[in-house]
Amino acid sequence: MTARPAAGGGTGARAVASRLTGRRARAERPLSGALGEVVLDDGSVVVVKRADTPGAARAEAAGLRWLAATGTVRVPAVRGREGPWLVTDRVPSGRASAEAATRFGRDLAALHACGAPAFGAPPPDGPEDAFIGSAPLRNVPGDDWPSWYAEHRVLPYLRRAVDDGTVRHAEAATVERVCARLPGLAGPAEPPARLHGDLWNGNVLWDADGHAWLIDPAAHGGHRETDLAMLQLFGCPHLEHVLDGYRREAPLADGWRDRVPLHQLFPLLVHAVLFGRGYAEQALAAARAALAG
């Protein structure tokens, strides 16, 4: 999506940062075509992000604010939003430690415990049609997690992957069997948790003081094991310490490790839609593991 001129002139990162923060921009460092850092006249540094998809900046800003409102996990403050632009504080970079990972696990458990009105509930002021990465993500509320997960998280991406030829028609039956058996595979019923929603390692930043910060949420109400399963999908520094801290704060239901492939099925299908056949094969392996578990 092409950025549109905004009131006050200027559509570059420096102009947007100045307009949305009310401070003069002194310098800019591009990080990618859609992301940059801007130094303001008070010495603070903000991140300026330009979304290519309508509504993505609104969804991300609403998600960050919804997570921040809990006072649990750390998220960068939203400094302003305008059309496709989003300005947030920068997270000072550091390294993960076992102690920080344990603290992050406890904070994540506290975040989930803050809850949501329903499975699929969007953040306040967040759009129903949101995004996970660049893929569409519909936040349609539901009361029953197994049926909601099948209808609004697994099957939409399976259908698109089949339509794109990434998943073969004959292979789709394996995922459809998982959906049909979800009531028996899902484990004990749990209330909706407040999820980050796209909790892979790249969206967890570690600051110089040893704290974890979460960025780029696809926030919604969901099952807490989904966030944990995605955190395990692509690895995370000191992962066992994260999980240990989490379980000390909020024990997980028996069999949660066996359900990891079930919860990874959704993000793997999203990745299959976005990135192709390799992830489709991983999604099919996760479906088979879920059925075997």
> Tokens for 191?
């209330």
Q: Is 52 in the active site?
A: no
Sequence-distant (6+) residues with CB within 8 A of 288 are: 174
**CA–centroid distance for 152 within its chain:** 16
- DSSP designation for 150: I
Q: What's the CA gap between 113 and 251, in Å, rounded?
A: 12
CA distance 291 to 146: 14
DSSP H helical ranges for the chain: 13-21, 56-68, 98-113, 145-149, 155-164, 169-180, 182-185, 224-233, 239-249, 260-275, 277-292
Instruction: Give me the catalytic one of 198, 244, 254, 258.
Output: 198
Give catalytic residues, as residue numbers: 198
